[in-house]
Protein backbone atom coordinates (compact mmCIF):
# COMPACT_ATOMS: atom_id res chain seq x y z
CA UNK A 1 0.00 0.00 0.00
CA UNK A 2 1.07 3.60 -0.69
CA UNK A 3 0.59 6.25 1.97
CA UNK A 4 0.34 9.71 0.47
CA UNK A 5 1.23 12.46 2.92
CA UNK A 6 -0.55 15.63 1.87
CA UNK A 7 -4.10 16.30 0.70
CA UNK A 8 -3.55 19.25 -1.61
CA UNK A 9 -4.21 19.16 -5.35
CA UNK A 10 -0.91 17.31 -5.96
CA UNK A 11 -1.35 14.61 -3.29
CA UNK A 12 -5.03 14.05 -4.05
CA UNK A 13 -4.37 13.85 -7.81
CA UNK A 14 -1.69 11.21 -7.27
CA UNK A 15 -4.01 9.26 -4.95
CA UNK A 16 -6.86 9.41 -7.44
CA UNK A 17 -4.78 8.28 -10.44
CA UNK A 18 -3.10 5.47 -8.48
CA UNK A 19 -6.40 4.25 -7.01
CA UNK A 20 -8.00 4.37 -10.45
CA UNK A 21 -5.23 2.10 -11.77
CA UNK A 22 -5.99 -0.42 -9.02
CA UNK A 23 -3.26 0.47 -6.50
CA UNK A 24 -4.15 0.52 -2.78
CA UNK A 25 -3.58 4.00 -1.37
CA UNK A 26 -4.33 5.96 1.80
CA UNK A 27 -4.15 9.74 2.08
CA UNK A 28 -3.11 11.42 5.33
CA UNK A 29 -3.80 15.10 5.95
CA UNK A 30 -5.31 16.84 9.00
CA UNK A 31 -7.26 19.28 6.79
CA UNK A 32 -7.22 18.36 3.09
CA UNK A 33 -7.38 21.17 0.58
CA UNK A 34 -6.73 24.00 3.04
CA UNK A 35 -3.08 24.77 2.28
CA UNK A 36 -1.53 26.23 -0.85
CA UNK A 37 -4.28 24.66 -3.01
CA UNK A 38 -6.88 26.76 -1.16
CA UNK A 39 -4.93 29.96 -1.78
CA UNK A 40 -3.96 29.22 -5.42
CA UNK A 41 -5.56 31.11 -8.29
CA UNK A 42 -5.41 28.01 -10.51
CA UNK A 43 -3.63 29.44 -13.53
CA UNK A 44 -2.74 26.74 -16.06
CA UNK A 45 -0.38 29.18 -17.71
CA UNK A 46 2.97 27.68 -18.62
CA UNK A 47 3.51 30.20 -21.38
CA UNK A 48 2.77 33.44 -19.56
CA UNK A 49 4.44 32.33 -16.30
CA UNK A 50 7.70 31.45 -18.03
CA UNK A 51 10.98 33.23 -17.32
CA UNK A 52 13.95 33.19 -19.67
CA UNK A 53 15.92 30.87 -17.44
CA UNK A 54 13.09 28.39 -17.02
CA UNK A 55 12.88 26.41 -20.26
CA UNK A 56 12.74 23.02 -18.46
CA UNK A 57 9.86 24.28 -16.30
CA UNK A 58 8.11 25.50 -19.41
CA UNK A 59 8.39 22.01 -20.95
CA UNK A 60 6.83 20.48 -17.85
CA UNK A 61 4.04 23.05 -17.83
CA UNK A 62 3.19 22.65 -21.52
CA UNK A 63 3.06 18.84 -21.14
CA UNK A 64 0.85 19.06 -18.06
CA UNK A 65 -1.49 21.61 -19.64
CA UNK A 66 -1.97 19.20 -22.55
CA UNK A 67 -3.20 16.63 -20.01
CA UNK A 68 -5.59 18.92 -18.16
CA UNK A 69 -8.65 18.58 -20.43
CA UNK A 70 -8.79 14.78 -20.21
CA UNK A 71 -7.85 14.93 -16.51
CA UNK A 72 -10.77 17.31 -15.84
CA UNK A 73 -13.23 15.25 -17.88
CA UNK A 74 -12.33 12.02 -16.06
CA UNK A 75 -12.33 13.73 -12.68
CA UNK A 76 -15.73 15.25 -13.31
CA UNK A 77 -17.10 11.81 -14.19
CA UNK A 78 -15.40 10.00 -11.28
CA UNK A 79 -16.56 12.63 -8.80
CA UNK A 80 -20.15 12.14 -9.96
CA UNK A 81 -20.49 15.75 -11.11
CA UNK A 82 -22.58 16.75 -14.11
CA UNK A 83 -20.88 15.67 -17.33
CA UNK A 84 -21.14 16.10 -21.05
CA UNK A 85 -20.13 18.83 -23.48
CA UNK A 86 -18.79 22.09 -22.13
CA UNK A 87 -20.73 21.67 -18.85
CA UNK A 88 -18.29 19.05 -17.63
CA UNK A 89 -15.66 21.75 -17.38
CA UNK A 90 -18.04 24.23 -15.74
CA UNK A 91 -17.97 22.03 -12.64
CA UNK A 92 -14.26 22.80 -12.21
CA UNK A 93 -14.50 26.22 -13.87
CA UNK A 94 -11.86 25.10 -16.37
CA UNK A 95 -11.51 27.80 -18.99
CA UNK A 96 -9.05 28.24 -21.83
CA UNK A 97 -9.39 31.78 -23.17
CA UNK A 98 -5.69 32.51 -22.72
CA UNK A 99 -3.62 35.04 -20.79
CA UNK A 100 -3.04 38.63 -21.80
CA UNK A 101 0.23 40.06 -20.50
CA UNK A 102 0.07 43.86 -20.70
CA UNK A 103 2.68 46.61 -20.72
CA UNK A 104 2.57 50.28 -19.69
CA UNK A 105 5.96 51.81 -20.42
CA UNK A 106 8.67 51.51 -23.10
CA UNK A 107 10.69 49.14 -20.91
CA UNK A 108 7.69 46.84 -20.40
CA UNK A 109 7.00 46.83 -24.15
CA UNK A 110 10.61 45.93 -24.90
CA UNK A 111 10.40 43.10 -22.34
CA UNK A 112 7.25 41.77 -24.04
CA UNK A 113 9.02 41.86 -27.42
CA UNK A 114 11.88 39.81 -26.02
CA UNK A 115 9.49 37.38 -24.39
CA UNK A 116 7.55 37.01 -27.65
CA UNK A 117 10.78 36.23 -29.55
CA UNK A 118 11.77 33.66 -26.90
CA UNK A 119 8.34 31.98 -27.07
CA UNK A 120 8.37 31.87 -30.85
CA UNK A 121 11.85 30.33 -30.81
CA UNK A 122 10.42 27.58 -28.62
CA UNK A 123 7.56 27.08 -31.10
CA UNK A 124 4.90 28.47 -28.75
CA UNK A 125 2.03 30.45 -30.13
CA UNK A 126 1.79 34.03 -28.85
CA UNK A 127 0.43 37.24 -30.42
CA UNK A 128 1.81 40.77 -29.94
CA UNK A 129 -1.02 43.29 -29.60
CA UNK A 130 -1.25 47.08 -29.56
CA UNK A 131 -2.88 48.87 -26.63
CA UNK A 132 -6.03 49.34 -28.69
CA UNK A 133 -6.14 45.64 -29.59
CA UNK A 134 -5.74 44.76 -25.90
CA UNK A 135 -8.69 46.97 -24.97
CA UNK A 136 -10.77 45.50 -27.79
CA UNK A 137 -10.27 42.10 -26.14
CA UNK A 138 -10.67 43.42 -22.59
CA UNK A 139 -12.58 46.74 -22.54
CA UNK A 140 -12.08 47.22 -18.77
CA UNK A 141 -8.29 47.55 -19.14
CA UNK A 142 -6.75 50.90 -18.18
CA UNK A 143 -6.37 53.42 -21.06
CA UNK A 144 -2.65 53.64 -20.22
CA UNK A 145 -2.00 50.05 -21.37
CA UNK A 146 0.28 50.44 -24.40
CA UNK A 147 0.57 46.89 -25.65
CA UNK A 148 0.27 43.25 -24.79
CA UNK A 149 1.20 39.67 -25.47
CA UNK A 150 -1.59 37.12 -25.79
CA UNK A 151 -0.87 33.48 -24.95
CA UNK A 152 -4.08 32.10 -26.45
CA UNK A 153 -3.75 28.54 -25.14
CA UNK A 154 -3.16 29.34 -21.48
CA UNK A 155 -6.03 28.20 -19.28
CA UNK A 156 -7.21 28.27 -15.67
CA UNK A 157 -9.31 26.29 -13.25
CA UNK A 158 -10.80 26.79 -9.78
CA UNK A 159 -8.48 24.83 -7.43
CA UNK A 160 -11.07 24.78 -4.63
CA UNK A 161 -13.51 23.01 -6.94
CA UNK A 162 -10.75 20.67 -8.11
CA UNK A 163 -9.93 19.70 -4.49
CA UNK A 164 -13.60 19.05 -3.72
CA UNK A 165 -13.95 16.93 -6.87
CA UNK A 166 -10.80 14.93 -6.03
CA UNK A 167 -12.08 14.25 -2.51
CA UNK A 168 -15.43 13.12 -3.92
CA UNK A 169 -13.72 10.88 -6.50
CA UNK A 170 -11.53 9.30 -3.81
CA UNK A 171 -14.55 8.73 -1.61
CA UNK A 172 -16.37 6.98 -4.46
CA UNK A 173 -13.31 4.80 -5.07
CA UNK A 174 -13.24 3.87 -1.36
CA UNK A 175 -9.81 5.42 -0.71
CA UNK A 176 -9.24 5.95 3.05
CA UNK A 177 -8.55 9.51 4.12
CA UNK A 178 -6.89 9.80 7.53
CA UNK A 179 -7.46 13.28 8.95
CA UNK A 180 -4.37 13.35 11.08
CA UNK A 181 -0.95 14.97 11.17
CA UNK A 182 2.12 12.95 10.25
CA UNK A 183 4.71 13.64 12.95
CA UNK A 184 7.58 11.63 11.41
CA UNK A 185 8.41 8.86 8.98
CA UNK A 186 8.60 5.30 10.30
CA UNK A 187 12.02 3.87 9.59
CA UNK A 188 13.58 0.46 9.72
CA UNK A 189 17.30 1.04 9.35
CA UNK A 190 17.80 3.00 6.11
CA UNK A 191 14.34 2.22 4.84
CA UNK A 192 11.09 4.19 5.26
CA UNK A 193 8.30 1.80 6.25
CA UNK A 194 5.34 4.08 6.95
CA UNK A 195 4.35 7.11 8.99
CA UNK A 196 3.82 8.06 12.63
CA UNK A 197 0.53 9.85 13.15
CA UNK A 198 -0.16 12.57 15.70
CA UNK A 199 -0.86 10.91 19.08
CA UNK A 200 -4.10 12.87 19.33
CA UNK A 201 -5.52 11.01 16.34
CA UNK A 202 -8.29 8.51 16.90
CA UNK A 203 -6.59 6.17 14.43
CA UNK A 204 -3.62 3.93 15.15
CA UNK A 205 -0.44 5.91 15.71
CA UNK A 206 1.60 3.99 13.15
CA UNK A 207 0.54 3.51 9.57
CA UNK A 208 2.81 1.04 7.73
CA UNK A 209 3.30 1.41 3.98
CA UNK A 210 5.25 -0.21 1.16
CA UNK A 211 5.86 3.29 -0.14
CA UNK A 212 5.38 6.74 1.39
CA UNK A 213 4.74 9.49 -1.16
CA UNK A 214 5.61 12.85 0.37
CA UNK A 215 3.32 15.49 -1.14
CA UNK A 216 3.16 17.88 1.79
CA UNK A 217 4.19 21.03 -0.10
CA UNK A 218 6.16 23.52 1.99
CA UNK A 219 5.78 21.25 5.04
CA UNK A 220 7.65 18.38 3.33
CA UNK A 221 10.91 19.46 4.87
CA UNK A 222 9.53 18.81 8.37
CA UNK A 223 9.47 15.08 7.51
CA UNK A 224 12.51 14.63 5.26
CA UNK A 225 15.63 16.55 4.47
CA UNK A 226 14.40 17.96 1.16
CA UNK A 227 15.46 21.30 -0.37
CA UNK A 228 12.00 22.87 -0.16
CA UNK A 229 11.24 26.25 1.43
CA UNK A 230 8.00 28.18 2.00
CA UNK A 231 7.40 31.13 -0.35
CA UNK A 232 4.49 33.16 0.94
CA UNK A 233 1.77 34.39 -1.41
CA UNK A 234 -1.05 36.70 -0.31
CA UNK A 235 -4.02 36.59 -2.66
CA UNK A 236 -7.51 38.08 -2.63
CA UNK A 237 -10.85 37.19 -4.14
CA UNK A 238 -13.12 40.06 -5.17
CA UNK A 239 -16.74 39.72 -6.26
CA UNK A 240 -18.98 41.62 -8.63
CA UNK A 241 -22.33 41.11 -10.34
CA UNK A 242 -20.63 40.03 -13.56
CA UNK A 243 -17.07 39.22 -14.68
CA UNK A 244 -14.91 42.29 -15.40
CA UNK A 245 -12.60 40.26 -17.65
CA UNK A 246 -12.98 37.34 -20.03
CA UNK A 247 -9.42 36.02 -19.73
CA UNK A 248 -6.47 36.13 -17.31
CA UNK A 249 -4.67 39.47 -17.35
CA UNK A 250 -1.26 40.12 -15.90
CA UNK A 251 1.30 42.88 -15.95
CA UNK A 252 4.31 44.44 -14.26
CA UNK A 253 3.33 47.36 -12.04
CA UNK A 254 5.87 49.21 -9.88
CA UNK A 255 8.37 46.44 -10.65
CA UNK A 256 6.17 43.59 -9.40
CA UNK A 257 3.99 41.20 -11.29
CA UNK A 258 0.24 41.14 -10.63
CA UNK A 259 -2.37 38.86 -12.17
CA UNK A 260 -6.15 38.90 -12.36
CA UNK A 261 -8.06 35.64 -12.88
CA UNK A 262 -11.81 35.84 -13.65
CA UNK A 263 -14.27 33.15 -12.60
CA UNK A 264 -17.58 32.47 -14.32
CA UNK A 265 -19.60 33.58 -11.27
CA UNK A 266 -18.17 37.14 -11.18
CA UNK A 267 -15.31 36.38 -8.81
CA UNK A 268 -11.97 37.99 -9.67
CA UNK A 269 -8.82 36.58 -8.09
CA UNK A 270 -6.00 39.09 -7.58
CA UNK A 271 -2.57 37.68 -6.81
CA UNK A 272 -0.10 37.31 -5.52
CA UNK A 273 2.71 38.52 -3.31
CA UNK A 274 5.97 36.57 -3.31
CA UNK A 275 7.61 36.79 0.12
CA UNK A 276 10.44 34.83 1.73
CA UNK A 277 9.29 34.91 5.35
CA UNK A 278 9.37 31.27 6.43
CA UNK A 279 6.14 29.74 7.74
CA UNK A 280 4.37 33.09 8.08
CA UNK A 281 0.73 33.03 6.89
CA UNK A 282 -0.35 36.42 8.22
CA UNK A 283 -2.39 38.54 5.85
CA UNK A 284 -0.87 42.01 6.08
CA UNK A 285 -2.17 45.48 5.32
CA UNK A 286 0.90 46.12 3.15
CA UNK A 287 0.35 42.96 1.11
CA UNK A 288 -3.27 43.81 0.40
CA UNK A 289 -2.46 47.44 -0.34
CA UNK A 290 0.10 46.41 -2.98
CA UNK A 291 -2.22 43.89 -4.62
CA UNK A 292 -5.11 46.36 -4.87
CA UNK A 293 -2.90 49.26 -5.93
CA UNK A 294 -1.34 47.19 -8.74
CA UNK A 295 -4.63 45.58 -9.80
CA UNK A 296 -6.22 49.04 -10.08
CA UNK A 297 -3.46 50.16 -12.43
CA UNK A 298 -4.38 47.30 -14.80
CA UNK A 299 -8.16 47.42 -14.39
CA UNK A 300 -9.43 50.56 -12.58
CA UNK A 301 -12.89 49.01 -12.08
CA UNK A 302 -11.61 46.57 -9.46
CA UNK A 303 -12.20 49.18 -6.75
CA UNK A 304 -15.97 48.81 -7.28
CA UNK A 305 -15.89 45.11 -6.38
CA UNK A 306 -16.73 43.59 -3.03
CA UNK A 307 -13.93 41.90 -1.10
CA UNK A 308 -14.61 38.17 -0.84
CA UNK A 309 -11.76 36.51 0.94
CA UNK A 310 -8.09 37.15 1.49
CA UNK A 311 -5.63 34.39 2.33
CA UNK A 312 -1.92 33.73 2.47
CA UNK A 313 -0.57 30.42 1.20
CA UNK A 314 2.90 28.91 1.20
CA UNK A 315 4.34 27.77 -2.11
CA UNK A 316 6.92 24.97 -1.85
CA UNK A 317 9.96 26.55 -3.52
CA UNK A 318 13.09 24.66 -4.60
CA UNK A 319 16.57 26.00 -5.43
CA UNK A 320 16.00 25.60 -9.21
CA UNK A 321 12.20 26.20 -9.25
CA UNK A 322 11.64 22.66 -10.59
CA UNK A 323 9.58 20.14 -8.61
CA UNK A 324 10.95 17.03 -6.91
CA UNK A 325 9.09 14.03 -8.32
CA UNK A 326 10.19 10.42 -8.02
CA UNK A 327 12.23 8.10 -5.79
CA UNK A 328 14.04 10.07 -3.10
CA UNK A 329 17.10 7.86 -2.91
CA UNK A 330 15.86 6.53 0.45
CA UNK A 331 14.18 3.17 -0.03
CA UNK A 332 10.42 3.38 0.56
CA UNK A 333 10.24 7.17 0.15
CA UNK A 334 9.03 8.88 -3.02
CA UNK A 335 8.76 12.65 -3.40
CA UNK A 336 6.06 14.73 -5.07
CA UNK A 337 6.78 18.19 -3.74
CA UNK A 338 8.51 21.47 -4.54
CA UNK A 339 5.96 22.57 -7.16
CA UNK A 340 6.46 26.23 -6.21
CA UNK A 341 4.14 28.40 -8.37
CA UNK A 342 2.85 25.48 -10.45
CA UNK A 343 1.21 22.84 -8.24
CA UNK A 344 -2.22 23.04 -9.85
CA UNK A 345 -0.80 23.16 -13.38
CA UNK A 346 1.64 20.29 -12.76
CA UNK A 347 -0.71 17.95 -10.85
CA UNK A 348 -1.72 15.78 -13.87
CA UNK A 349 1.89 15.45 -15.04
CA UNK A 350 3.08 14.63 -11.50
CA UNK A 351 0.54 11.81 -11.21
CA UNK A 352 1.56 10.50 -14.65
CA UNK A 353 5.27 10.53 -13.75
CA UNK A 354 4.53 8.52 -10.61
CA UNK A 355 2.82 5.96 -12.82
CA UNK A 356 5.96 5.55 -14.88
CA UNK A 357 4.99 7.79 -17.80
CA UNK A 358 6.87 10.74 -19.34
CA UNK A 359 10.38 9.35 -18.76
CA UNK A 360 12.21 12.30 -20.36
CA UNK A 361 10.32 14.93 -18.37
CA UNK A 362 10.56 12.78 -15.23
CA UNK A 363 14.35 13.04 -15.50
CA UNK A 364 14.08 16.86 -15.20
CA UNK A 365 12.22 16.49 -11.89
CA UNK A 366 14.33 13.69 -10.45
CA UNK A 367 15.16 14.32 -6.77
CA UNK A 368 18.54 12.76 -7.56
CA UNK A 369 19.70 16.13 -8.94
CA UNK A 370 20.11 17.18 -5.29
CA UNK A 371 22.34 15.08 -3.09
CA UNK A 372 21.83 14.42 0.60
CA UNK A 373 18.08 13.75 0.75
CA UNK A 374 17.51 11.61 3.84
When CB distances to ligand GLY are compared, the closest residue is: 341
CB of 316 to ligand GLY, least distance (A): 11
271, 261 contact by CB (below 8 A):
yes
Rounded CA separation 86/84 (Å): 7
- Closest C-alpha to 274, from 252, 257, 299, 254: 257
290, 273 contact by CB (below 8 A):
yes
Q: Which CB atom, from 175 or from 349, has the smaller least distance to ligand GLY?
A: 349
CB of 214 to ligand GLY, least distance (A): 21
Listed in sequence order, the residues at least 6 apart from 36 whose beta carbon sits closer than 8 Å to its beta carbon are 8, 217, 218, 233, 313, 314, 315, 316, 343
H helices of 21-129, where?
36-39, 55-78, 87-90, 106-121
Q: Which CB atom, from 271 or from 287, has the smaller least distance to ligand GLY?
A: 271
Rounded CA separation 327/336 (Å): 9
Rounded CA separation 358/63 (Å): 9
CB of 195 to ligand GLY, least distance (A): 28
CB of 14 to ligand GLY, least distance (A): 20
Q: Is residue 151 classed as helix, strand or coil in its secondary structure?
A: strand
Please tell me the total number of residues recorded for the chain in this structure: 374
CB of 33 to ligand GLY, least distance (A): 17
Q: Which CB atom, from 41 or from 311, has the smaller least distance to ligand GLY?
A: 41
Q: Which CB atom, from 32 or from 343, has the smaller least distance to ligand GLY?
A: 343
Q: Which CB atom, from 173 or from 310, has the smaller least distance to ligand GLY?
A: 310
Q: Is residue 123 classed as helix, strand or coil in its secondary structure?
A: coil
CB of 315 to ligand GLY, least distance (A): 5
Q: How many whole angstroms from its chain centre is CA 222? A: 21
E strands, the chain, where? 2-5, 25-28, 43-44, 99-103, 127-130, 147-151, 155-156, 177-178, 182-188, 191-197, 206-208, 211-214, 229-239, 248-253, 256-262, 267-271, 306-317, 324-327, 333-337
Q: Which CB atom, from 41 or from 333, has the smaller least distance to ligand GLY?
A: 41
CB of 291 to ligand GLY, least distance (A): 11
244, 238 contact by CB (below 8 A):
no
CB of 257 to ligand GLY, least distance (A): 9
- Residue 362: DSSP 8-state: H
Q: Which CB atom, from 57 or from 169, has the smaller least distance to ligand GLY?
A: 57
Q: Which CB atom, from 246 or from 321, has the smaller least distance to ligand GLY?
A: 321
Binding site for ligand GLY (CB under 6 A): 41, 43, 233, 271-272, 315, 341
Q: Which CB atom, from 51 or from 87, has the smaller least distance to ligand GLY?
A: 51
Rounded CA separation 185/239 (Å): 43
Q: What is the DSSP string of 40-60?
A: ---EE-TTTT--TT-HHHHHH
CB of 313 to ligand GLY, least distance (A): 8
CB of 248 to ligand GLY, least distance (A): 10
Q: Which CB atom, from 3 or from 322, has the smaller least distance to ligand GLY?
A: 322
Amino acid sequence: MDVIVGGGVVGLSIAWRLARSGRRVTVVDPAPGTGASYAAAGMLAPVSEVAFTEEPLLRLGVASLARWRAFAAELTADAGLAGGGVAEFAELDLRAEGTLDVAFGADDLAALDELAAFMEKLGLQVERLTGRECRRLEPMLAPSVRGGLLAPHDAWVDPRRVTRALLAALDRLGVPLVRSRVTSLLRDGDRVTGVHLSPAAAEAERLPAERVILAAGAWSRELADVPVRPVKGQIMRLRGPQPLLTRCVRGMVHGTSVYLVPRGDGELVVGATQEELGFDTRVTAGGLYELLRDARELVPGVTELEVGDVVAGLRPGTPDNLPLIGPSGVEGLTLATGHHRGGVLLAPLTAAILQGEEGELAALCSPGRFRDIS
